[in-house]
A and B are shown apart, each in its own frame.
Chain A
Amino acid sequence: MDVFAPAHEIARRVRAGEFAAEAVVAAALARISSLDSRVNAFTDITSDRALATARAVDLARSRGEPLGPLAGVPFAAKNLFDIAGLPTRAGSRINRERQPASRDATLIERLGAAGAILLGGLNMGEYAYDFTGENAHDGPCRNPHDLARMAGGSSSGSGAATAAGFVPIALGSDTNGSIRVPGSLCGVFGLKPTYGRLPRTRSFPFCDSLDHLGPLARDVTDLALGYDLMQGADEGDPACAQRPTEPTLPQLKHGLSGLRIGVAGGYFSTETMPEADFATTAVAEALAASSRVEIAGAAIGRAAAFLITNAESSAFHLPRLRERADDFDPETRDRFLAGALLPAAWYVQAQRARRWFHDEMMRHFADVDLIVAPATPCPAPLIGQKILELRGETLPLRPSLGLFTQPISCVGLPVAVVPFGGGALPIGVQLIAAPWREDICLRAAKALQEMGVCRADRPAEPAMPG
Chain B
Amino acid sequence: MTTKAPPGAFDPARHLEAMAPALGLTISEAQKPAVLQFIAIAHGMAQLVAAAPLADDSLELAPHFRPGLSGAER
Binary contact track A296-319/B, C-beta < 8 Å → 1, others 0: 010110111011001000000010
A238 contacts B74, CB within 8 Å? yes
Residues in A319-374 with C-beta less than 8 Å from chain B: 321-322, 325, 330, 333-335, 337-343, 346, 348-358
Most buried by B among A240, A330, A335, A358: A335
- Given A350-B49, A353-B54, verify A358-B62 contact (CB < 8 Å): yes
Say if the beta carbon of B9 comes within 8 Å of chain A: no
Residues of A within 8 A of B8 (CB): none
Q: In the complex, what's the smallest C-beta–C-beta distance from A197 to chain B, in angstroms?
A: 15
A306 contacts B34, CB within 8 Å? no
Residues of B within 8 A of A399 (CB): 41
Say if the beta carbon of A393 comes within 8 Å of chain B: no
Q: In the complex, what's the smallest C-beta–C-beta distance from A198 to chain B, in angstroms?
A: 15
Interchain CA distance A387-B15 in the complex, whole Å: 26
- Given A304-B49, A341-B16, verify A334-B62 contact (CB < 8 Å): no
SS class, residues of chain A in contact with chain B: helix
Say if the beta carbon of A461 comes within 8 Å of chain B: no
Residues in B18-48 with C-beta less than 8 Å from chain A: 19-20, 23-27, 31, 34-39, 41-42, 44-46, 48
Q: In the complex, what's the smallest C-beta–C-beta distance from B40 to chain A, in angstroms?
A: 9
Interchain CA distance A247-B23 in the complex, whole Å: 47
Choice from B26, B31, B36, B54 contacting A356 with Cβ under 8 Å: B54
- Given A351-B61, A351-B63, verify A338-B49 contact (CB < 8 Å): no
Interface bin, chain B: 35 or more
Most buried by A among B48, B49, B61: B49
Choice from A335, A337, A343 contacting B27 with Cβ under 8 Å: A337
Q: In the complex, what's the smallest C-beta–C-beta distance from B28 to chain A, in angstroms?
A: 8
Interchain CA distance A435-B48 in the complex, whole Å: 25
A337 contacts B35, CB within 8 Å? yes
B25 contacts A340, CB within 8 Å? yes
Residues of B within 8 A of A355 (CB): 60-62
B23 contacts A299, CB within 8 Å? no
Interchain CA distance A448-B74 in the complex, whole Å: 38
Residues in A218-242 with C-beta less than 8 Å from chain B: 233, 235, 238, 240, 242
Name the residue on A nearest B19 (C-beta): A341
Chain B residues in the interface with A (C-beta under 8 A):
15-16, 19-20, 23-27, 31, 34-39, 41-42, 44-46, 48-54, 59-63, 71-72, 74
The 6 A-B pairs of least Cβ separation, nearest first, read A338-B38, A303-B48, A334-B34, A303-B45, A354-B62, A353-B52
